[in-house]
């Protein structure tokens, strides 16, 4: 009961601050007021939401598809060290029902979720920095000089090139 009252007071203050705020800035970007988050609050989890955070009274916020915007885009989570960003991402990755592209710079997420995700579909790991994981080699299977020359010519071909001496 107390948290409901506090949440109501907090929302009322947010409305008043938004309406009477006279702070005119050169750049109008700002963080959302508390009352503006009401549409983002969810009560149950499913695989169509991108979880974005938790409120001060335990409410959970997420972005969900709408008729106007049926596909959700990119998201970035910022926070201090050890605040739970990776843990939240692991939960989101496992809950998500669609396809995903995950940039795992520290190589922490793949070992934890790849086995489970492989039970639901194809999982590819592309590690450009070390040249490991699933790869595509356009030269694979081509061993003769003639085949490699044809591929090289195709890779450097420029239709607007008037003098082909360099590409040849």
The answer to whether residue 16 scores a pLDDT higher than 90 is no
What is the pTM for the complete model shown? 0.53
Distance CA 115, CA 96 (A): 15
pLDDT tens per residue, range 70-110: 887 777 778 888 888 888 888 888 888 878 888 888 888 88
| Residue 113 confidence (pLDDT) | 92
The answer to whether residue 47 scores a pLDDT higher than 80 is no
For strands 60-63 and 41-42, give the pairing.
antiparallel
Q: What is the mean pLDDT of residues 104-120?
A: 89
Q: Which residues are bridge partners to 50 per DSSP?
A: 63
Structure tokens at 83: 């605040």
For the ranges 3-17, 78-92, 127-141, the maximum mean pLDDT occurs at 78-92
Mind giving me the DSSP string for 33-99? PGGGGGGGEESS--TT-EEEEE-TTS-EEEE---SS--S---------TTSSHHHHHHHHHHH--S-
Q: What is the mean pLDDT of residues 119-123?
A: 90
């Amino acid at each position: 009961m107390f948290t409901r009252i506090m949440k109501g007071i907090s929302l009322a203050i947010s409305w008043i601050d938004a309406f009477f705020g006279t702070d005119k800035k050169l750049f109008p970007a700002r963080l959302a007021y508390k009352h503006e988050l009401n549409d983002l609050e969810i009560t149950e989890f499913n695989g169509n939401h991108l979880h974005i955070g938790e409120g001060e009274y335990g409410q959970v916020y997420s972005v969900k598809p709408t008729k106007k915007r049926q596909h959700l885009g990119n998201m970035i989570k910022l926070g201090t060290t050890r605040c739970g960003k990776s843990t939240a991402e692991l939960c989101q990755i496992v809950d998500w029902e669609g396809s995903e592209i995950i940039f795992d710079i520290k190589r922490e997420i793949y070992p934890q979720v790849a086995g489970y995700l492989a039970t639901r579909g194809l999982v590819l790991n592309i590690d450009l920095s070390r040249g490991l994981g699933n790869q595509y080699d356009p030269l694979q299977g081509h061993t003769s000089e003639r085949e490699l020359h044809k591929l090289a010519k195709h890779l450097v071909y420029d239709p607007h090139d008037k003098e082909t001496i360099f590409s040849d």
